[in-house]
Amino acid sequence: VGDLGQKIILYLNFVEKAQWKELGLQALPPGLMVVEEIISSEDEKMLLESVNWAEDIDDQNVQKSLKHRRVKHFGYEFHYENNNVDKDKPLPGGLPDIWDSILEKWLKEGFIKHKPDQLTVNQYEPGHGIPAHIDTHSAFEDEIVSLSLGSEIVMDFKHPDGVTVPVMLPRRSLLVMTGESRYLWTHGITPRKFDTVQASKGHKGGIITSDVGDLTLSKRGIRTSFTFRKVRQTPCNCSYPLVCDSQTKQTSPSLPGSAREASQLEREHVHRVYEEIAGHFSSTRHTPWPRVVDFLKALPSGSLVADVGCGNGKYLGINQDLY
Ligand SMILES: [Zn+2]
């Protein structure tokens, strides 16, 4: 029985032998670094207590209850409609003072090269996630860093060629994304309550290898991330024009002139989008729509049903008398 009291059916599938692609030599995405134990437990406690989630419940601009997590912005407001910031409208107050000495220390020790001017605080409860994305190039400079407090989590990095690298972000660690890992790879957190992590002690931050003998499950806790970015004042001129909004020509939409153009359009704006969001889409859709359930239950026993585009198959078990 699930959290909400509804009955959950667990299906157990197995194969005798799986084709296993050796990924022994996996490396972190270029430009990515995880600095462990960058903050003491005392500072962690103080920083977590410094976030006042209650104060701005009425202020829609500051406290946005995104479907899957709590968010607060400092320095500049981040707009989820266009994934960008209002560069002419910095928020009053800037970053909270509490961060001054910490950022200075990170600069001095070389973990960061630029002083950030925008902070986004996200709180993830177990089961929450964030869809895979690249931070908008034109909105922020190269260096993006994120401090994980309260609990560890696994973040998935994905290269456009399909390679996915799960990266463990331990509690009190700093994730530093620069270069290719910031501009070309997407990053996201799968909404789930457990992560697959390395079983061996001593291994903490960084890549989770696919060594099945050394994996175990870790129950997620409440993780609060503090992501620091520097707002970009000039267009991005990175070396990844294909994913760079500053370098993509803004052409007005036109009707495709040939079947080839049409199918290119479909590949780009339908297939590619679904490929990108499929994992997240599936893991957030398990509640059957009541109308569809009524329809399936109303069919005579022995009826044949084709569920075209059935996603994760959530309607398969609704009526046992259908084929
Ligand atoms: Zn760019």
| C-alpha of residue 175 to centroid of ligand 1, in Å | 20
| C-alpha of residue 153 to centroid of ligand 1, in Å | 28
Q: Does domain 32-243 have CATH number 2.60.120.1520?
A: yes
CA distances from 155 to 8, 133, 168 (A): 27, 12, 6
Return per-residue pLDDT of the chain as tens, 323 residues.
666 677 878 888 888 876 655 555 568 999 999 999 999 999 999 999 999 887 655 555 444 555 557 889 999 988 877 788 888 888 888 899 999 999 999 999 999 999 999 999 999 999 889 989 999 999 999 999 999 999 999 999 999 888 889 999 999 999 999 999 999 999 999 999 999 888 876 667 777 776 777 888 889 999 999 999 999 999 999 999 989 998 886 655 677 788 888 888 888 888 888 888 887 888 778 788 999 999 999 999 999 999 998 888 889 889 999 99
Contact of 153 with 223, CB cutoff 8 Å: yes
Number of DSSP helices (H) and strands (E) in the chain, helices first: 6, 16
| C-alpha of residue 135 to centroid of ligand 1, in Å | 10
| C-alpha of residue 76 to centroid of ligand 1, in Å | 20
Structure token pair of residue 275: 């490929």
| C-alpha of residue 185 to centroid of ligand 1, in Å | 12
Distance between CA atoms of residues 281 and 274, nearest Å: 9
- Which residues are CB-neighbours of 153 under 8 A, at least 6 positions away? 124, 169, 189, 195, 220, 223
Residue 237: which of 246, 249, 229 has the closest Cα? 246
Could you tell me the residue ranges of all domains in the chain?
32-243, 288-323
Q: Which amino acid is at 120?
A: T
| C-alpha of residue 30 to centroid of ligand 1, in Å | 16
Distance between CA atoms of residues 171 and 272, nearest Å: 34
| C-alpha of residue 278 to centroid of ligand 1, in Å | 25
Contact of 217 with 199, CB cutoff 8 Å: no
